[in-house]
With several copies, the nearest count.
Chain A
Amino acid sequence: MSDKTISEMSEATATETAVEDNYETTNKGDYKIKLEAFEGPLDLLLYLIKKEEVNIYDIPIARITEQYLEYLTLMEELDIAVAGEFLVMAATLIHIKSRMLLPPDPNVAPESLEDPRQELVERLLEHQKYKQAASMLYSRSEVAQAVFTRAQIESDTQTPELSATVFDLLEIFKKVLERAKEQAEMEIARDEITMAEKMEEIHSLLKERDSLSIRELFEKARSKRELILTFLAVLELVKEAVIRLAQSETFGDITAFKRVAETRPDTEEISESGENLSQV
């Protein structure tokens, strides 16, 4: 991979690229941009290894751990949210460091001793490979973008294939569901009536006839909101002594009467509290 390609790449995605240069800057703003640039803990570690010019196969774990933790502190000072994976890596580094400090087990032959850094080094090398591969893909796409295909011709419009993917289907399905929800909300909004209107409605209904079934009133409500409004309007009318409510039997239908009308003697009068209404 040529250096040119990689440097072009950093230019192209400057804010996201783990930087190679000028880390010694003292400007906090610059620091912030660059620290946010680390894609993850592996990126940060690779940067530190490169900066300290240490051998990836023989990482001075104490030094690198110290530097790593310094960067995390710096990130916190700069109010950069430190993602969980950075902390997991910090714990891993500290664990490796402590294992390195332990004296080697005298019962194990020196050549079969496992290096505590082994697993981390493998992950770093693997990660590094994919960074190189990304760089290769980048240069390939640059070349591929330099060639052009013919303009649209007449036959094209007749031939386009079914180009939707399963992910498009899912996106479309989600949009349909959202639209259905919005539509339902809009319908409720359109029907919105005020409590005054509801009271007026009950009032005028009682002008036409002497009594009114409360259940009938509730059944007319087309939304939860209207149901509540109906309930409140009835209570308000009771309070204002415009109507009175009567129930012929417990759990039976409640009827509203105009105040002027005669109370039938055999019905139990319900007080204005409306407590019994909750049983309707």
Chain B
Amino acid sequence: MNLEELKKTLEALIFVSEEPLTLKQIKDILQDEDSDHIEFALKEFIFEFNGRDGGLEIRELAGGYRMSTRPELHETIRAFLKTLPSARLSLAALETLAVIAYKQPVTIPEIMEIRGTRSTSAIKTLLDRRLITAKGRKECVGRPMMYGTSKDFLIQFGLKDLTELPSIEDFEDLVG
């Protein structure tokens, strides 16, 4: 490998590595390359990459090399991260959402009956995320609140209306 190829390879390896990439790891992967040649290429690559004064830099960390954003940009990045949809739903929340989507309007005791476990915190999560909404009270003992999916649910899952939810029959077509 010539020097330019070696520098390209180092850039890519540091980029994909989960942990800070150590010199030893680099030498292990690039066994055919001369050790001094690698060290020289690495120094030159870091010097050039950081010298660009771009948004990213290579930092030496925990005995290895890592690519990261420049500290002065962190405020903008934090602002960006905040705009992303919040955390993934837990399986409990997804199960509860599935039961509500297919059985709506449905009460908490009914959801419990189907899921076999308490679903109160999952329901709170779904309400906070505006994926479900209260749909009035059921006319039975205790008049429990009924829940159904919201407009946000339709948007989030790319549905025009609830009839677009795939049914079990749609799926039977697929496995049959």
Q: Do chains A and B touch in the complex (CB under 8 A)?
A: yes
Which A residues are within 8 Å of any B CB, using their own CB?
1, 9, 12-13, 16-17, 39-43, 55-57, 83, 85, 89, 123, 125-138, 140-141, 143-153, 155-156, 158-170, 172-177, 179-180, 183
Decide: B85 and A140 in contact? CB cutoff 8 A: no
Decide: B165 and A169 in contact? CB cutoff 8 A: yes
* Interface SS, A side: helix
Q: Tell me how many residue pairs across A and B have CB atoms closer than 8 Å.
A: 215
16 residue pairs A–B, Cβ–Cβ below 8 Å: A13-B91, A39-B92, A39-B116, A40-B116, A43-B117, A85-B117, A123-B116, A126-B114, A129-B172, A145-B85, A152-B18, A159-B84, A160-B87, A161-B85, A170-B167, A180-B113
Determine the chain B residues whose CB is within 8 A of the CB of A148 once the complex forms: 12, 15-16, 68-69, 74, 77, 81
Q: Of B85, B114, B134, which one neighbours A166 at CB under 8 angstroms?
A: B134
- Please judge, given known A-B contacts A56-B176, A177-B114, whether A165 and B157 are in contact too, CB under 8 Å: yes
Decide: B117 and A169 in contact? CB cutoff 8 A: no
CB distance from A51 to the nearest CB of B (A): 14
Decide: A125 and B172 in contact? CB cutoff 8 A: yes
Decide: B171 and A172 in contact? CB cutoff 8 A: no
CB distance from B169 to the nearest CB of A (A): 8
Decide: A39 and B115 in contact? CB cutoff 8 A: yes
B7 at the interface (CB under 8 A from A): no
Decide: B88 and A162 in contact? CB cutoff 8 A: yes
Determine the chain B residues whose CB is within 8 A of the CB of A161 once the complex forms: 19, 84-85, 88
Decide: B71 and A162 in contact? CB cutoff 8 A: no
Interface size class on chain B is 35 or more
CB distance from B21 to the nearest CB of A (A): 10
Determine the chain A residues whose CB is within 8 A of the CB of B74 once the complex forms: 145-148
CA distance A137 to B153 in the complex (A): 10
Q: Of A39, A150, A155, A167, which one neighbours B67 at CB under 8 angstroms?
A: A150
B residues 95-118 touching A (CB-CB < 8 Å): 95, 97-99, 101-102, 113-118
Which B residues are within 8 Å of any A CB, using their own CB?
12, 15-19, 59, 66-72, 74, 77, 81, 84-92, 94-95, 97-99, 101-102, 113-118, 127, 130, 133-134, 155-159, 164-172, 174-176
CA distance A183 to B98 in the complex (A): 19
CA distance A77 to B93 in the complex (A): 28
Determine the chain A residues whose CB is within 8 A of the CB of B133 once the complex forms: 165, 167
Decide: B101 and A133 in contact? CB cutoff 8 A: yes
Determine the chain B residues whose CB is within 8 A of the CB of A57 once the complex forms: 176
Determine the chain A residues whose CB is within 8 A of the CB of B114 once the complex forms: 126-127, 130, 176-177, 180
CB distance from A4 to the nearest CB of B (A): 15
CB distance from B108 to the nearest CB of A (A): 14
CA distance A164 to B170 in the complex (A): 18
Decide: B166 and A170 in contact? CB cutoff 8 A: yes
Determine the chain B residues whose CB is within 8 A of the CB of A169 once the complex forms: 94, 97-98, 101-102, 157, 165
